[in-house]
Structure 1
Amino acid sequence: MGIRQYTLYMAWIVAVVATLGSLYFSEIRGFIPCELCWYQRILMYPLSLILGIAAFYEEYKIKKYVLPLSIMGICVSSFHYMEQKIPGFAAIKPCTQGVPCNIQYINWLGFVTIPFLALLGFSLITLLLLMKRK
């Protein structure tokens, strides 16, 4: 048994924390989300609901619905993080309106930004779901 029986619940908790964290940054701290932040939210917010329902009913076959969202989230978050941290990378796809995607509202320890936190969340959800055998 061990930790593998709780992976679905842990993935749900990660999704809820990521959702609440993004709402905290925008609604309480007043950080305006850029275009790529919105894509990450579009991919993360449904995971809170889907994983919550799946955890409640102990439905482990949900992986085929959740993994595509979390893997796409990894891709978007990685791209966004590279735009912030690799000089010259932001010129590949500049944001056309609103907040520039290379802006860093937070920069904890020199590398932890909001896209990094999203990347961490999507990666943890993916790993936790891949740990479950069913």
Structure 2
Amino acid sequence: MRDSTTSRAETLLLIAFLMALGATLGALFIGEVLGQTPCILCWYQRIAMFPLVPILAVGLWRGDATARIYALPLVLTGLAVALWHSGLYAGLIPEGVSPCTQDGPSCSDRTQMTILGLPIPYLSLGCFMAIALCLNVMKGKPS
């Protein structure tokens, strides 16, 4: 019989995996299907998000909630970049400190940084926050 802590940890790990998978597929759709070139900060967020899919998948497959230990540094890094990107997009951080250059898309362009009317930086921030919350709430080790 499985205890409720184990079941809860597995559920949270599954939710975190599905969010990482959805964000990865969404980023690929935006770039490859819609043809929107990612800005520098989007690339950094992708670097943090994409490896979460196999890390969390292996944790689910093995029934090992300690995958959160490997995932959290990537999630927190992505969260920091997404927070910075959202601040630039919102105008809270001056455009002069933006890493985006003349050669690529702007990190705060309101026409390029939206999908279905939703700001991409905010979507990324929300996803990283939700994954971080799931991984931080997890307790126990599924067997």
Inter-partner Cα distance in structure 1 for 2:93 and 2:55: 37
Question: Are 1:95 and 2:96 an aligned pair?
Answer: no
Inter-partner Cα distance in structure 2 for 1:32 and 1:41: 13
Residue in 2 aligned with 1:76? 81
Shift of residue 33, structure 1, vs aligned partner? 0.3
> Which of residues 2, 6, 15 in structure 1 aligns to 2:11?
6
Q: TM-score, normalized by length of structure 1?
A: 0.89
Shift of residue 72, structure 1, vs aligned partner? 0.9
Question: Are 1:130 and 2:136 an aligned pair?
Answer: yes
Shift of residue 107, structure 1, vs aligned partner? 6.6
CA deviations over 1:11-47 (Å, ceiling 9, x no partner): 1000000000001111111111011100000000000
Residue in 2 aligned with 1:114? 120
Gap change, CA 1:39 and 1:54, over 3 Å in 2? same
Question: Are 1:43 and 2:43 an aligned pair?
Answer: no
Unmatched 5+ stretches in structure 1: none
Asked if the contact 1:94/1:100 (under 8 Å) is kept, the reply is no
Shift of residue 132, structure 1, vs aligned partner? 0.9
Shift of residue 5, structure 1, vs aligned partner? 3.6
Gap change, CA 1:100 and 1:40, over 3 Å in 2? same
Inter-partner Cα distance in structure 1 for 2:129 and 2:42: 16
Q: TM-score, normalized by length of structure 2?
A: 0.84
| Stretches of 4+ aligned residues off by more than 3 angstroms | 2-5
More helix by share: 1
Root-mean-square deviation (Å): 1.8
Inter-partner Cα distance in structure 1 for 2:125 and 2:36: 18
Aligned length, in residue pairs: 132
Inter-partner Cα distance in structure 2 for 1:88 and 1:116: 15
Unmatched 5+ stretches in structure 2: none
